[in-house]
Amino acid sequence: MKQRVDANFDKVLNSLGMFTTNREKQAQYNYYVTQQKQNFIEIAQNDKIIKQNDEIISLLKKISNK
């Protein structure tokens, strides 16, 4: 639920940043949104690596038990 609220809050901030005439504020909002997207991509990649590591550990345990 908190992630959904945070995502909605981010959309509001991004919209405010798009409608302001202050170029510095627009740049800050654009940077923030870009950074957040990169963070989500990195989290997804890390989750995939963790799953792969878990599979490797499981296979090594099977091998060592034989």
User: Model confidence over 2-49: pLDDT tens digits?
Assistant: 556 566 776 776 666 667 678 888 888 888 889 988 999 999 999 999
- First and final C-alpha spacing in the chain: 45
What does the pLDDT read at residue 55? 97
What does the pLDDT read at residue 18? 64
pLDDT at 53 over 90: yes
What does the pLDDT read at residue 14? 66
More confident of the two residues 56 and 21: 56
Give the torsion sign (CA, 8, 13, 14, 19). positive
Specify the pTM: 0.58
Q: What residues have CB less than 8 Å from 32, skipping those under 6 apart?
A: 10, 13, 14, 17
